[in-house]
């Protein structure tokens, strides 16, 4: 792979891949392969993050609707993944392109070493001209190691391959000020340069029976991508020739634009943002929030007003401001029991408390182990 080639990650939702008749849309995959071929000729590598395994497997196994028990869901995923992989392989081979299957869980990315191995594998596949098809390994996942939605997985993959653009193909043509299916006055938002509380409030839930992610998961993922300096787009999967048009610079859907000056985000901090699920959260006062966002400070216990969840030192935490907006994510320096006792206390108080003396002189989250979102 030469340095002048670009990389696009496309996330395809179940509602885009599977029709109302519950059948896999081979025509869609065939057109995706055509676009992938044109993208390759134009100097773009493509990585596909594909949902749809459970939706494809359920009818094959005779389920009238998506099952709800875990063993049946995993069985559907096992069968459906074969259906999906065969369709991608056949349609892309017809265009002279080779695909590969990459199945991930949080177990694979929560550990730093495994995360780096996943990065190296994906990078090498792209260098070899392969189109990786990535999905969550729903056959073996349980709640504790699930990504939960492929929007988060797409953001993770985009960071792993240092993508230039991440495209989410959905059943809606972009972001609106409200849910357009419920509010006729909802206005389309073509461009987002900062994701604030207002943007997050405009996101609604998933409106389909086959998908698991709603607009809110897409917005959260776009926010991480903006922090990483990666542009992203949410648009309709029914939009014709959409990937080729986006690669050519055409405005389609809602574009999420990273800061003009690419933030200097260490790869380790991107791993903190995406590698593991959060085990809890801390809410901070206005002064602490300002210190984190504007000055890049560590988080001290004195700035914490609330601690939620049960976690241990080294676990990933969300950091929220007084409005409930997640402003950062980082690794806890102490467990939840200790932080609940230390919250709101100055360092001299902590040092004089026999139960908290081990925390004296330590932040709740160190700046080197925390990513502040754009």
Q: Which of 14, 183, 292, 210 is nearest to 201 (CA)?
A: 183
213 is in an annotated binding site: yes
218 is in an annotated binding site: yes
Q: What is the dihedral of CA 238, 240, 242, 244, to 10 degrees?
A: 150
215 is in an annotated binding site: yes
170 is in an annotated binding site: yes
368 is in an annotated binding site: no
340 is in an annotated binding site: no
269 is in an annotated binding site: no
138 is in an annotated binding site: yes
214 is in an annotated binding site: yes
At 112, list the tokens. Answer: 């730093």
150 is in an annotated binding site: yes
212 is in an annotated binding site: yes
Looking at residue 333, the DSSP 8-state letter turns out to be: S
Distance CA 186, CA 59 (A): 36
Strand order in the sheet with 6-12: 99-104, 131-136, 44-50, 6-12, 165-170, 231-236, 254-256, 191-192
**Residue corresponding to tokens 């984190």:** 292
Write phi, then psi, for 304 (nearest 5 degrees): -90, 130
Widest Cα–Cα separation across the chain: 71
Q: Which of 42, 113, 79 is nearest to 271 (CA)?
A: 113
216 is in an annotated binding site: yes
173 is in an annotated binding site: no
How far CA 233 is from CA of 9, 50, 124, 131, 256, in Å, comes to 10, 16, 25, 20, 6
Residue ranges at the known binding site for substrate: 51, 138, 150
Detail the residues annotated as belonging to a binding site: 11, 51, 138, 150, 170-171, 212-218
Q: Binding site membership for ATP: which residues?
A: 11, 170-171, 212-218
């Amino acid at each position: 792979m030469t340095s002048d080639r670009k990389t696009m990650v496309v996330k395809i939702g179940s509602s885009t891949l599977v029709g109302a008749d519950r059948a896999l849309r081979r025509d869609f995959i065939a057109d995706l392969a055509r676009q992938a071929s044109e993208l390759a000729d134009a100097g773009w590598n493509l990585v596909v993050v594909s949902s749809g395994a459970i939706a494809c497997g359920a009818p094959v196994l005779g389920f009238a609707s998506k099952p709800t028990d875990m063993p049946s869901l995993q069985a559907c995923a096992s069968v459906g993944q074969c259906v999906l992989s065969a369709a991608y392989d056949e349609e892309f081979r017809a265009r002279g392109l080779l695909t590969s299957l990459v199945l991930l869980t949080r177990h694979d990315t929560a550990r730093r070493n495994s995360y780096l191995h996943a990065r190296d594998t994906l990078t090498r596949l792209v260098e070899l001209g392969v189109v990786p098809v990535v999905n969550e390994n729903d056959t073996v996942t349980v709640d504790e190691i699930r990504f939960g939605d492929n929007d988060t997985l797409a953001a993770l993959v985009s960071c792993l391959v240092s993508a230039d653009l991440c495209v989410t193909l959905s059943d809606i043509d972009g972001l609106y000020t409200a849910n357009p299916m419920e509010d006729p006055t909802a206005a389309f938002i073509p461009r987002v340069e900062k994701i604030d509380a207002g943007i997050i409030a405009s996101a609604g839930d998933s409106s389909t029976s086959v998908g698991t992610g709603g607009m809110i998961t897409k917005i959260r993922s776009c926010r991480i991508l903006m922090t990483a300096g990666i542009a992203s787009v949410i648009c309709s999967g029914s939009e014709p020739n959409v990937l080729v048009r986006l690669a050519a610079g055409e405005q389609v859907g809602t574009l999420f634009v990273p800061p003009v000056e690419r933030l200097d985000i260490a790869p380790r901090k991107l791993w903190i943002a995406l590698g593991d699920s959060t085990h809890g959260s801390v809410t901070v006062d206005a002064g602490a929030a300002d210190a984190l966002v504007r000055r890049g400070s560590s988080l001290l216990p004195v700035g914490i007003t609330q601690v939620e969840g049960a976690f241990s030192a080294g676990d990933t935490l969300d950091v929220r401001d007084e409005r409930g907006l997640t402003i950062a994510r980082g690794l806890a320096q102490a467990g939840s029991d200790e932080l609940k006792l230390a919250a709101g206390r100055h360092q001299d108080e902590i040092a004089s408390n026999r139960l908290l003396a081990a925390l004296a002189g330590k932040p709740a989250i160190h700046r080197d182990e925390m990513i502040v979102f754009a």
